[in-house]
Amino acid sequence: MDEREADVVDAITAQWQRERPDLELEAMAVFGRLGRLLTVATARIESVFTAHGLQRGEFDVLAALRRSGSPFELNPSVLADTLMLSRAGMTGRIDRLEGAGLVRRIADREDRRAVRVALTEQGRALVDTVVVAHTENETAMLSVLSPADRAALDRVSRTLLQGWAS
């Protein structure tokens, strides 16, 4: 290897290269590393949420409500769509968060038959605390990269996502 240290993905691709020299393995190496990055990043990210008594999905609901701006309330179906979750899955999350006093269900001002989910003061305080820890954690995770490398990673990952979405 040049300036890079060999890793487990290099070992796997070297084995394939030995056994099947006819295969193009560049994509396998990239996706192998992306998979390993996802596994490590997920554990580190979720550790922040767990340290604050939340599961990732619960944080996502609180964060969606907080990002929505004052009065920090949304229709449950809008929340489900925003988080790409089934209505039943959203109901379960809202039930848990309501039980913990972090959200409450309120009647919709325009349609009293409909419900909205609103952050409580406790929920807002918690999500404001957790989002600081979350962003600090993610920043620290990327600190091994130079600013130029972080910008390149963002650009390349954006390009891949846009290319795959079409």
Q: Are residues 28 and 15 in the same domain?
A: yes
pLDDT for 130: 98
DSSP symbols for the chain: --SSPP-HHHHHHHHHHHH-TTS--HHHHHHHHHHHHHHHHHHHHHHHHHHTT--HHHHHHHHHHHHT-TT-EE-HHHHHHHTT--HHHHHHHHHHHHHTTSEEEEE-SS-TTSEEEEE-HHHHHHHHHHHHHHHHHHHHHHTTS-HHHHHHHHHHHHHHHHHHH-
- Taking only the tens of pLDDT, the chain with its 166 residues reads 444 567 899 999 999 999 999 999 999 999 999 999 999 999 999 999 999 999 999 999 999 999 999 999 999 999 999 999 998 899 999 999 999 999 999 987 877 778 999 999 999 999 999 999 999 999 999 999 999 999 999 999 999 999 998 7
pLDDT value at position 4?
Answer: 58
Do 24 and 64 have their domain in common? no
User: Which pLDDT belongs to residue 112?
Assistant: 74
In a domain, 100, yes or no: yes
Residue 145 lies inside a defined structural domain of this protein: no
Report yes or no on 151 lying in a domain.
no
Tell me if 122 is assigned to some domain: yes
Q: Which of 34, 58, 67, 131 is nearest to 139 (CA)?
A: 131
Q: Are residues 26 and 58 in the same domain?
A: no
Residue 2 domain-assigned (yes or no): no
Q: In this structure, are 94 and 74 located in the same domain?
A: yes
Structure tokens at 19: 């056994």
Which residues are CB-contacts of 107 (< 8 A; sequence separation ≥ 6)? 114, 115, 116
Question: What pLDDT, on a 0 to 100 scale, did the predictor assign at position 5?
Answer: 66
CATH of the domain at 64: 1.10.10.10
CA 9 to chain centre: 24
Same domain, 30 and 70: no
**What is the tally of structural domains in the chain?**
2
Nearest to 63 by CA among 106, 97, 89: 97
* Beta carbons within 8 Å of 76's beta carbon, 6+ residues apart: 87, 90, 91, 94, 115, 116, 117
Calculate the average pLDDT of the chain: 93
**Are 37 and 74 in a shared domain?**
no
Same domain, 35 and 59: no
Residues 40 and 66 in one domain: no
The answer to whether residue 156 sits within a structural domain is no
Look up the domain containing 102 and give its range: 54-135
